């Protein structure tokens, strides 16, 4: 019988074919997997570090940032956005942006900034309704996000609080265009409005009229009752003038006791009627100061203009000249310079000839009458 024992010193038996290659390939594959795993771990670490940097950047940015997915659902809300909206990030994640951050235009209509952006609002200024119902003014932008395959993966909405700066800008603009005493337009704003009316008249042939008002005997009130009383008279007169006009008509204080009225889309007949209406309203106006009643009047120069409109300076010069015609004609009158260039006679009455009234150049400072109550009449 043959023995299966290995004789010491004899050569080893035959190896299994291909065994070393299999082991080598396995080791190489394991090495490759380990390298890939290490690379993935390195990449993951980089991604985590980048994510942390992005989060720190989001926290450091002064603007509110909301990140949404393709369905408009919030995936991130930075601290500034949470502060501006009143929503904590944890409370709004997964909710649609439109249900959390409510934007409205200047008319109070809801806006879908994801679809329309902020550019649909004038100057991109919109209102943001906070969670507590308070409203702030913001401007912002919407930037789409795309993946490596260029497919949309959502959007970034940025917005910042501009309430204080917007209000300051609007306040400065208001004061730049309005008279601080009466609240009416000032000379600068009125001349700009008059220029637009001239351009419309040239383009469309619309009829317009410029009325130049200079108060009669206003100096007497200042001299008798003081400048504080004179200022109050001008404020009350501004309200009175506004009431005589249509909504789209313009009235301005040019300076001192001089006012101007612009009647757009007006016929000469209508303009003359308005001029007379203003004159009557002023002459019937009784200003009471410390128990004394003061009466004034106004001289009005009117110039009609249409497609043959002159420049702003020329129109104001003509209206001013017609105002002096009314003054020279006896005051408290309307002198009209028609669109055809023809001057019409001044008409009206000199209220200084009323019983109890005295002329401005006399020593008496105002027209003093006892204040009459309905019971006294």
- Which residues are part of the catalytic machinery? 257
DSSP codes of every residue in 218-268: HHHHHHHH-HHHHHHHHHHHHHHHHHTS-TT-EEEEEETTEEEEEEES--H
Q: Please tell me the total number of residues recorded for the chain in this structure.
A: 377
102-118 as b/e: b if 16+ CB within 10 A: bbeeeeeeebebbeebb
Bridge partners of 336?
302, 344
With CA atoms as reference, report the closest residue to 312 among 187, 205, 207, 214.
187
Bridge partners of 22?
none
- What distance in Å separates the CA atoms of residue 241 and residue 257, rounded to the nearest whole number? 13
State whether residue 5 is helix, strand or coil: coil
- What distance in Å separates the CA atoms of residue 9 and residue 6, rounded to the nearest whole number? 9
- What distance in Å separates the CA atoms of residue 376 and residue 213, rounded to the nearest whole number? 34
């Amino acid at each position: 019988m043959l023995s299966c024992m290995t004789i010491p010193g004899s050569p080893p038996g035959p190896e299994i074919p291909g065994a070393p290659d299999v082991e080598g390939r396995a080791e190489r594959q394991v090495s490759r997997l380990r390298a890939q795993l290490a690379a993935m771990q390195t990449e993951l670490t980089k991604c985590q570090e980048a994510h942390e940097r992005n989060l720190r950047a989001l926290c450091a940015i002064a603007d509110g940032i909301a990140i949404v997915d393709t369905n408009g659902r919030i995936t991130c809300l930075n601290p500034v956005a949470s502060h501006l909206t009143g929503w904590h990030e944890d409370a709004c994640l997964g909710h649609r942006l439109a249900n959390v951050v409510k934007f409205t235009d200047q008319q109070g209509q809801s806006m879908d900034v994801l679809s329309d952006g902020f550019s649909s609002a004038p100057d991109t200024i919109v209102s943001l309704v906070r969670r507590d119902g308070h409203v702030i003014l913001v401007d912002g932008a919407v930037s789409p996000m795309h993946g490596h395959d260029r497919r949309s993966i959502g959007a970034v909405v940025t917005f910042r609080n501009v309430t204080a700066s917007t209000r300051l800008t609007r306040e400065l603009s208001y004061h730049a265009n309005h008279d601080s005493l009466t609240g009416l337009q000032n000379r600068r704003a009125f001349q700009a409005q008059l220029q637009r009316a001239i351009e419309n008249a040239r383009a469309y042939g619309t009829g317009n009229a410029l009325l130049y008002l200079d108060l009669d005997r206003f100096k007497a009130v200042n001299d008798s009752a003081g400048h504080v009383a004179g200022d109050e008279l001008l404020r009350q007169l501004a309200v009175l003038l506004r009431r005589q006009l249509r909504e789209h008509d313009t009235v301005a204080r040019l300076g001192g006791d001089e006012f101007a009225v612009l009647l757009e889309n007006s016929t000469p007949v209508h303009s003359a009627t308005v001029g007379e209406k203003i004159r009557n309203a002023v002459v019937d106006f009784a200003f009471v100061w410390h128990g004394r009643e003061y009466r004034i009047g106004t001289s009005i120069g009117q110039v009609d203009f249409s497609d043959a409109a002159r420049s702003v300076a020329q129109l104001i010069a003509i209206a001013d000249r017609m105002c002096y015609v009314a003054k020279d004609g006896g005051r408290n009158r309307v002198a009209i310079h028609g669109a055809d260039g023809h001057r019409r006679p001044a008409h009206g009455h000199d209220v200084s000839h009323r019983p109890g009234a005295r002329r401005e150049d006399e020593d008496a400072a105002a027209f003093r009458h006892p204040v009459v109550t309905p019971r006294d009449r």
